[in-house]
Each structure stands twice: as structure tokens, then as C-alpha cells.
């Protein structure tokens, strides 16, 4: 190791240059000397030691210096898309990368520090982004940096030990954060379904009744084809989900979300009759107006193509305006509503999970626990009301009498 002063345009007029032997170049077998300059001997030596450490770990300094975050993310995505992930998952990751590139895009991937990443998370919080968005950005960045480590573009993952900003909820927010916001109460469901019948487009009553009394996911509903429904057996088969990235003719039918999502079940007779009537009505329409595309979908546009989920959501929102419902309602809420209906009907939890394809066990358990707990409270109140005469029989209990007097 050697030090020497070299002239520089700084306050002291010079810098210290440190020179150390690095690892042997595997291609030439020659000694590789590392030189770095800094204002102090210690800083110069630390800089050299960092380069030596990186070389010892196989870091390609030239490629690491050239590789931007944007390029590294593209390299990771090329591997990720080949791992058998669903197109919808790949599209979501592509959106995450585009989002992250707003902060890191052209920055060398080797130079992004833990502080840079923490500052990004803090800035997202300052800008009012939702917690879920911040966590998603953090997680995707972590996977990209792991890819960079594997490819010897950097040594560490700057996302490690980063703190996700979380807002402290007020008492009012905690009280309003009710599990009941995740599903429609019976009276709310009734009001919505009445609106669907009275104000809905053709197919709205059938689609929303089927969602409410089957527990299927919206993508599963929109992927239903005529052979999936066996009217005489009142049987419905779930074997696919619709992936349609935009309101265009290209679409894919993918396997359901999980292996347990492949299922068959019977549906209520009234819903069954509604659905069969709708199918026959649509078949008559297509006889008179041959579709551009005949994919055999039960719920489809007049051209025969499946309904885009965003369009289905707009139909839902239009009906909501005809009701007094104030909670946030998406097509998925009917799945949770069905879980609550089954819980209220005393259907065992495991049976419910099997029926709905065991999607979100945590949410299912929360709804089930909430509904059954509420039923227990209601049962206690009913007992008090029904047997009030028995409970009012006089008895000799000084303690109870004193408490009642107070």
C-alpha cells in the first residue's frame, strides 16, 4: 500500500491517493493495482478497500458502473416473465417497475444506497400514497436488487431493514375500520339487487344475483361459458378466470387463482332459473344478430366478446347511485357478502372455504368470526326478550338487589 499527495482544486489544494494491490486478473494473471483519491488518507484507503472488497466478491466494476436501475429491472423482468407467472401478475410487476423508475431510472444500480431507498419510501408517504402502494414498491425493488446481487452488479440489498412509513390511526378511524365494510349486510344486498332489477342493463340482475349467491370471483363470473352451467342439475363449474388487460378484443382464459379454486357447486333454484332464462334470451338475440366473435360466454357484449372488468365495475357503480349504500363497493364485495350469508346460516367455516375456493383465509375467518360473534350477541338478546317473564321471577339476592337499586 502506498500514499501520495496529488494536486486538486479543493480548499487544501491537494488530495491523497491510495494505491493497493487488488485480486489477480483471472484473464491475464497479472497484478491489479487499485487507486483511489480522497481529501484524507483514511477516506482514500476506505475507497480502495471498498473496490477490493467488491472485486474479491466478483463484482464487475465496469458493468456495475454502467448498469442503470432501469436496465437492471428490465433484466430481472426478462427472467421473471419466464418463470410461469400469470400475464396479470407480469403486467402488475411491469407497472411497479415503471413506478420505481420515476425515482431510480437512470441511476447506476450499484450506487443506490439504503438511504436513497428509505428517502423514496418517505417521499411516497409524504405524497399521500396508500400503504399498499408503498409496500408493493418496496417489495418489487427488493426483488430487483436481489437480481443485481446475483449478477454481481452490487454486494448488498439497500431495501433490507428499511422502515415502511405507517400512519398512526385515530380512535375514530379505528372505530370506523369495521369488518362490516368488507361485505354488504342483508338489507344493503336487498336494496342493491332491487336496484339491479329496476334500473340495471340486460344481464345485470343475473350477474349480480349470481355473484351474491355463489361466492365466485368477478374474473370467474366473466369467464363463464355455457357448458359451465348445467341447468337440470343446477350445477355451476369454475375452471377458469378472465384476463383482459384493456377494453379490447384480446383476452386470455387462465386457470383460477389457486388449485382449490377449481370447483363445482349447486346454485339456488331461483338464481338457476334466472340464469337459464337469460341464456335463452341471449341465444335468441344472437340468432337474429350473429356475433363477431362466438366464444360461448354467458356474460358478453353484443359482439360476443367477454365483458371487460372495468366496464362491469362501471355498471355496478351506476346501480350504486340508485341506492343509499355509502360503503366502498367493488365486484369482489359480493364474494365476501356470500361468506357472511353462509356464516349466518351456520355453515361450518371449512365448508365455506371449500365453496368459495379458499381465496383469502384471513378475510374469510374475520368475516366468519364477526358474523358468528354477532349472532351470539343477538341470541343472548333474543333469550332476554323471549324469556323476560322467567328472568323477572323474584329471588332473594341482596347483592343483585343493591346493584339494581344503585
CA dihedral 77, 80, 86, 91 (to 10 degrees): -10
Which residues, in sequence order, are CB contacts of 97 under 8 Å at separation 6+? Answer: 73, 74, 77, 140, 144
Cβ–Cβ under 8 Å, residues 305 and 295: yes
Question: Mind giving me the DSSP string for 279-300?
Answer: HHHHHHHHHHS--S----BSSB
Q: What is the C-alpha to C-alpha distance for residues 137 and 148, in angstroms, rounded to an integer? A: 17
How many whole angstroms separate alpha carbon 174 and alpha carbon 15?
58
Sequence-distant (6+) residues with CB within 8 A of 356 are 215, 216, 335, 338, 339, 364
Q: What is the pTM of this model?
A: 0.66
Contact criterion met (CB below 8 Å) for 160 and 173: no
pLDDT tens, residue order, the chain (406 aa): 888 889 888 888 899 999 987 776 655 667 678 888 898 988 988 888 877 777 666 656 666 678 899 999 999 999 998 888 888 888 889 999 999 999 998 999 988 999 999 999 999 999 988 888 999 999 999 999 999 988 888 888 999 999 999 876 665 555 555 777 888 999 999 999 999 999 999 999 999 999 999 989 999 999 999 999 999 999 999 999 998 876 666 888 988 877 778 999 999 999 999 999 999 999 999 999 999 998 999 999 999 999 989 899 999 999 999 999 998 899 999 999 998 998 888 888 888 888 888 756 777 888 888 888 777 766 566 555 655 565 555 555 555 555 555 5
Q: How many residues does the chain have?
A: 406
Per DSSP, what are the bridge partners of residue 15? 6
DSSP state of 300: B
Contact 371, 344 (CB under 8 A): yes
Amino acid at each position: 500500500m502506498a500514499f501520495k499527495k496529488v494536486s486538486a482544486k479543493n480548499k487544501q489544494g491537494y488530495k491523497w491517493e491510495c494505491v493497493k494491490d487488488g485480486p489477480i486478473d483471472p484473464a491475464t494473471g497479472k497484478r491489479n493495482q487499485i487507486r483511489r483519491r480522497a481529501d484524507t488518507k483514511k477516506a482514500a484507503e476506505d475507497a480502495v478497500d471498498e473496490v477490493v472488497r467488491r472485486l474479491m466478491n466478483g463484482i464487475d466494476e465496469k458493468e456495475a458502473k454502467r448498469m442503470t436501475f432501469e436496465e437492471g429491472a428490465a433484466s430481472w423482468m426478462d427472467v421473471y416473465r419466464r418463470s410461469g407467472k400469470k400475464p396479470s401478475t407480469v403486467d402488475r410487476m411491469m407497472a411497479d417497475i415503471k413506478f420505481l423508475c420515476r425515482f431510480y431510472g437512470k441511476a447506476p444500480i450499484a450506487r443506490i444506497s439504503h438511504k436513497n431507498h428509505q428517502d423514496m419510501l418517505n417521499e411516497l408517504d409524504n405524497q399521500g400514497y396508500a400503504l399498499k402502494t408503498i409496500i408493493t414498491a418496496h417489495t418489487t425493488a427488493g426483488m430487483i436488487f436481489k437480481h443485481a446481487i446475483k449478477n454481481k452488479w452490487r454486494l448488498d440489498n439497500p431495501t433490507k431493514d428499511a422502515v415502511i412509513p405507517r400512519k398512526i390511526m385515530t380512535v375514530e378511524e379505528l372505530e370506523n375500520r369495521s369488518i362490516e365494510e368488507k361485505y354488504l349486510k342483508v338489507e344493503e344486498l336487498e336494496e342493491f339487487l332491487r336496484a339491479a332489477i329496476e334500473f340495471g342493463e340486460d344481464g345485470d340482475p343475473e350477474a349480480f344475483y349470481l355473484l351474491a349467491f355463489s361466492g365466485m370471483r368477478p374474473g370467474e363470473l366473466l369467464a363463464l361459458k355455457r357448458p359451465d352451467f348445467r341447468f337440470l342439475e343446477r350445477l355451476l363449474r369454475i375452471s377458469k378466470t378472465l384476463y383482459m388487460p384493456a377494453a379490447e378484443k384480446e383476452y386470455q382464459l387462465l386457470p383460477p387463482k389457486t388449485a382449490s379454486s377449481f370447483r363445482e357447486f349447486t346454485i339456488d333454484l331461483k338464481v338457476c332459473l334466472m340464469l337459464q332464462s337469460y341464456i335463452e334470451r341471449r341465444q335468441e338475440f344472437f340468432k337474429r344478430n350473429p356475433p363477431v366473435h362466438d366464444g360461448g360466454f354467458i356474460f358478453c357484449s353484443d359482439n360476443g366478446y367477454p365483458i371487460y372488468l372495468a366496464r362491469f365495475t362501471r355498471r355496478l357503480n351506476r346501480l350504486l347511485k340508485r341506492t343509499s349504500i355509502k360503503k366502498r363497493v367493488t365486484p369482489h364485495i359480493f364474494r365476501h357478502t356470500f361468506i357472511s350469508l353462509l356464516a349466518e346460516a351456520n355453515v361450518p367455516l371449512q365448508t365455506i372455504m371449500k365453496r368459495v375456493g379458499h381465496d383469502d383465509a384471513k378475510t374469510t375467518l374475520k368475516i366468519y368470526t364477526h358474523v358468528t360473534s354477532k349472532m351470539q350477541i343477538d341470541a343472548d338478546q333474543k333469550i332476554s326478550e323471549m324469556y323476560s317473564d322467567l328472568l323477572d321471577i323474584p329471588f332473594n339476592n341482596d347483592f343483585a338487589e343493591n346493584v339494581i337499586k344503585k
